[in-house]
Amino acid sequence: MINIINESQTPVIAETVSVDPVSKVVCPAIAPNGKLEIPKAAQPVKIDKRYVFALVLVHCLALLAVIPWFYSLTGLLVGIAGIFLFAMMGINIGYHRLLTHRGFTCPKWLEHTLAILGICTLQDSPARWVAIHRLHHKDSDEQPDPHSPLVSAYWGHIGWLFVRNRDFHKVKNFECYVRDLLRDPFYLKLERNSLWLGIYVLHALLFLVAGYAIGWFTTGTLDGSLQMGLSLLVWGVFVRTVFVLHSTWAVNSVSHLWGYRNYKTTDNSRNNWLVTLISHGEGWHNNHHAEQMSASHGHLWYEFDLSWWVIRSFECVGLAKKVVRPRCWKTPRKSQGNQTESIA
Percent of the chain with pLDDT over 90: 83
H or E stretch covering 248: helix 240-253
Q: Which pTM value belongs to this model?
A: 0.86
Mean pLDDT over 184-188 rounds to 96
pLDDT category, 119, cuts 50, 70, 90?
very high
Sign (positive/negative) of CA torsion 81, 86, 87, 92? positive
Distance, CA of 169 to CA of 19 (rounded, Å): 39
**Would you kindly state where each structural domain of the chain is located, as residue ranges?**
2-292
pLDDT at position 35, please? 83
Alpha-carbon distances of 110 from 113, 219, 291, 312, 324, rounded to whole Å: 5, 37, 24, 15, 18
Nearest one of 204, 229, 244, 223 to 72, comparing CA atoms: 229
Which residues are 313's β-sheet partners? none
Distance, CA of 272 to CA of 283 (rounded, Å): 5
For the residues of 275-300, what is the DSSP string, one character each? Answer: HHHHHTTTTBHHHHHHSTT-S----S
3-state secondary structure at position 111: helix
Q: Provide CB contacts within 8 A for 237, sequence distance 6+.
A: 82, 203, 204, 207
Q: Torsions phi, psi of 160, nearest 5?
A: -65, -25
pLDDT at position 226, please? 96
pLDDT category, 10, cuts 50, 70, 90?
very low
Distance, CA of 71 to CA of 317 (rounded, Å): 38
Distance, CA of 186 to CA of 180 (rounded, Å): 12
pLDDT category, 31, cuts 50, 70, 90?
low
Tens digit of each residue's pLDDT (9 = 90 or more) over 219-242: 999 999 999 999 999 999 999 999
pLDDT at position 34, please? 52
Q: Does 149 sit behind a cis peptide bond, omega within 30 degrees of 0 on the bond before it? A: no
Average pLDDT, the chain: 88
Q: How far is CA 165 from the centre of its chain?
A: 19
3-state secondary structure 131-175: HHHHHHHHCCCCCCCCCCCCCCHHHHHCHHHHECCCCCCCHHHHH
pLDDT at position 330, please? 66
Q: Is the pLDDT at 8 greater than 80, yes or no?
A: no
Are the CB atoms for 160 and 51 separated by under 8 Å? Answer: no
pLDDT at position 331, please? 56
Are the CB atoms for 325 and 294 separated by under 8 Å? Answer: yes
Nearest one of 81, 92, 79 to 308, comparing CA atoms: 92
Mean pLDDT over 283-302 rounds to 97
Tens digit of each residue's pLDDT (9 = 90 or more) over 61-117: 999 999 999 999 999 999 999 999 999 999 999 999 999 999 999 999 999 999 999
3-state secondary structure at position 334: coil
Mean pLDDT over 120-140 rounds to 96
Q: What is the dihedral of CA 278, 281, 282, 283, to 10 degrees?
A: 70
